[in-house]
């Protein structure tokens, strides 16, 4: 068998995808103009699939902080956190994130992926039990491949399914670590965290929550689902990323556990990679200040979510179960999703396309993510464009949807 | 005409099944697995104990894991992901569930 023969099935599926003319997985941003605009295929395109929830990638104060840091400390650290890569600013960033959550400890990683990978694989060891949501992100699944713990999946967002699995463990020795996400990245739905926490308390399980898509978006101060559901103190480990709301790259984990810092010399994805460059550390610290100082960005984000979600819903699209900064639009199959995606790009709107096996339950999705600085006009236009394409593709009925009495 | 001895022999299987009060009947497990796998059957080839789940059927790895989750709840067992990775055939899956059901610890 040849090296690449095992990918034959995937190659075939990928060839199908490319028959549409564009390859959705090799899109070039020829020039990014702003958090919501870029030149793609030579034309100015509206970006509605970039996870840039607060639009901070072009925030002047964040950009200035990054430029200043480069001038002061250079372009990179060229070393890991346990060697020459821990600068005063890395430590300051960790302190600021810990304070943001009211937790004692924080570790900063070079990517969010590495934070989940290293923390989850290391926390649960030989003889322990790792219980993960079925719709978990790839970084969590990859951690499960690395861990020595026994891994069991429970049904997505189903506390009773988790409870059944904790109950079955009975009085077996070993720690129980439950892994959840604040907002799930494909359909934008949130975990019923309070109910999950109650189950975890009943069975003495540790709770780890990944707030990658909920940082900034949820909670009075933007701490995420752990804040909006009032259970920060019951979440033993909170993981997150700098690459979405904070507009850069990197990951973190906060905790109150007194022995947390031992992870700095046990988590390999922390120890054996170069630390974040000074420019990133500086822009992230500034972005965190902006998140704290401008709660109106959160309000704008949710207003935009409502405009897009309610607009598409009113036209008859099948969407994820609830409002979220990610709006997942269900399409009947892979080829319709790819064709729809391409028609949108031709109309000057970029979203993500997500198809099996990267999606839960084999669904095909257009994955839209909102930005606080999208305008209502941009999103109204997007609903119009998608409605037109939806009718063309037979995804929507050809007659305009009748509005139910009382609908907006 | 049958003798009493023959009747005893004929009923020989019964005490065996009665001792399995904790666990489940293997036939029942196989039946349940087949119900889940039926939608993924290709052509006329029936699903048997030797069917290699990921290879002989059109089911993908994620759908296999979701099916296992349903079976876990149906038979009140948990199958660790590392164990699932080692299961190839319907028979192996049925044996795993039966064994876990009989000896949960």
pLDDT tens profile A69-108: 999 999 999 999 999 999 999 999 999 999 999 999 999 9
The beta-carbon neighbor of A151 closest among B66, B82, B105 is: B82
Residue A15: what pLDDT?
81
Distance from C-alpha of A176 to C-alpha of A161, rounded to nearest angstrom:
15
B1 lies within 8 A of chain A by CB: no
How confident is residue A293, by pLDDT bands cut at 50, 70 and 90? very high
Residue A23: what pLDDT?
82
For residue A32, pLDDT beyond 60: yes
Q: Read off the pLDDT of each residue in A12-38 and give the average, rounded to a whole number.
A: 86
pLDDT tens profile B26-71: 899 999 999 999 999 988 889 999 999 999 998 988 899 999 999 9
**Any idea how long chain A is?**
408
Residue of chain B minimizing CA distance to A172: B105
Residue A263: what pLDDT?
97
B104 lies within 8 A of chain A by CB: yes
What does the block give as tokens for A360? 């839960």
Residue A2: what pLDDT?
87
Task: Tell if the CB–CB gap between A362 and B63 is shorter than 8 Å.
Answer: yes
A42 lies within 8 A of chain B by CB: no
Residue B105: what pLDDT?
55
∠B105-A194-A242 over CA atoms, to 5°?
A: 100
Kindly give the residue spans of alpha helices, DSSP state H, lying in chain B: 4-10, 13-18, 26-37, 53-56, 61-75, 81-86, 90-102
Residue of chain B minimizing CA distance to A166: B78
For residue A400, pLDDT beyond 80: no
Residue B11: what pLDDT?
42
Residue of chain A minimizing CA distance to B100: A168
> Where in A188-342 does DSSP place strands (E)?
206-210, 237-241, 251-255, 326-331
Residue B23: what pLDDT?
64
CB A393 within 8 A of CB A339: yes
Task: Tell if the CB–CB gap between A153 and B69 is shorter than 8 Å.
Answer: yes
Distance from C-alpha of A229 to C-alpha of A182, rounded to nearest angstrom:
10
ipTM (interface predicted TM): 0.84
Q: Is B49 exposed, middle or buried (0-12, 13-18, 19+ CB in 10 A)?
A: middle
Residue B24: what pLDDT?
77
Q: Which residues of A touch B78 (CB under 8 A)?
A: 152, 165, 168-169
Q: Read off the pLDDT of each residue in A152-160 and give the average, rounded to a whole number.
A: 97
Residue A9: what pLDDT?
78
Distance from C-alpha of A216 to C-alpha of A35, rounded to nearest angstrom:
16
Q: Read off the pLDDT of each residue in A297-303 and give the average, rounded to a whole number.
A: 98
For residue B4, pLDDT beyond 50: no
Taking the CB of residue A27, how many other CB atoms lie within 10 A of it? Answer: 18
For the ranges A20-29, A187-196, A279-288, which has the lowest average pLDDT? A20-29
- As a whole-number percent, the residues of chain B with pLDDT over 70 amount to 76
Residue B34: what pLDDT?
94
Residue of chain B minimizing CA distance to A360: B62
Q: Is the dihedral of CA A84, A139, A234, A206 positive or negative?
A: negative
pLDDT tens profile A177-202: 999 999 999 999 999 999 999 999 99
Distance from C-alpha of A400 to C-alpha of A392, rounded to nearest angstrom:
12
């Amino acid at each position: 068998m040849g090296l690449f023969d095992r990918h034959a099935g995937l190659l075939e599926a990928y060839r199908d995808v490319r028959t549409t003319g564009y390859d959705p997985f090799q899109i070039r941003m020829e020039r990014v103009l702003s958090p919501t605009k870029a030149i793609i295929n030579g034309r100015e395109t509206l970006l509605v699939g970039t996870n840039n929830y607060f639009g901070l990638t072009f925030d002047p104060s964040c950009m200035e902080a990054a430029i200043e840091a480069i001038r002061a400390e250079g372009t990179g650290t060229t070393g890991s956190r346990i060697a020459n890569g821990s600068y005063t600013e890395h430590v300051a960033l960790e302190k600021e994130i810990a304070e943001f959550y009211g937790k004692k400890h924080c570790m900063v990683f070079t990517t969010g992926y590495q934070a989940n990978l290293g923390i989850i694989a290391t926390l649960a060891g030989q003889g322990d039990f790792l219980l993960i949501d079925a719709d978990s992100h790839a970084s969590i699944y990859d951690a499960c491949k690395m861990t020595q713990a026994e891994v069991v999946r429970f049904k997505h967002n189903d506390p009773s399914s988790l409870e059944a699995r904790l109950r079955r463990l009975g009085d077996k020795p070993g720690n129980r670590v439950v892994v959840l996400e604040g907002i799930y990245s494909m359909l934008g739905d949130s975990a019923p965290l309070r109910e999950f926490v109650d189950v975890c308390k009943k069975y003495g399980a540790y709770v780890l929550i990944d707030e990658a898509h909920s940082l900034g978006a949820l909670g009075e101060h933007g701490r995420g689902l752990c804040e909006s559901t009032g259970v920060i103190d019951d979440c033993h480990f909170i993981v997150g990323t700098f690459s979405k709301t904070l507009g850069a790259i990197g990951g973190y984990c906060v905790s109150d556990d007194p022995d947390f810092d031992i992870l700095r010399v046990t988590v390999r994805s922390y120890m054996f990679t170069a630390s974040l460059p000074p420019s990133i550390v500086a822009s992230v610290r500034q972005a965190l200040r902006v998140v704290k100082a401008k709660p109106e960005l959160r309000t704008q984000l949710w207003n935009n979510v409502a405009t897009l979600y309610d607009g598409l819903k009113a036209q008859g699209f099948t969407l994820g179960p609830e409002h979220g900064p990610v709006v997942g639009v269900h399409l009947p199959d892979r080829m319709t999703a790819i064709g729809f995606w391409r028609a949108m790009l031709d109309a000057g709107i970029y979203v993500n396309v997500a198809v099996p096996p990267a999606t839960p339950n084999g669904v095909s999705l257009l994955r839209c993510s909102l930005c606080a600085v999208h305008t209502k006009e941009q999103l109204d236009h997007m609903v119009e464009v998608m409605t037109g394409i939806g009718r063309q593709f037979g995804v929507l009925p050809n007659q305009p949807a009748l509005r139910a009495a009382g609908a907006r | 005409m049958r003798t009493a001895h023959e009747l005893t022999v004929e009923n020989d299987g019964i005490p065996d099944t009665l001792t399995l009060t904790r666990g489940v009947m293997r036939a029942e497990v196989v039946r349940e697995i087949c119900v889940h796998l039926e939608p993924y059957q290709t052509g006329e080839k029936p699903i048997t104990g030797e069917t290699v789940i990921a290879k002989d059927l059109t089911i993908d790895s994620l759908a296999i894991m979701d099916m296992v989750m349903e079976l876990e709840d149906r038979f009140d067992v948990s199958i660790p992901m590392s164990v699932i990775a080692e299961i190839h055939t319907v028979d192996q899956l049925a044996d795993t569930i039966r064994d876990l059901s009989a000896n949960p610890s």
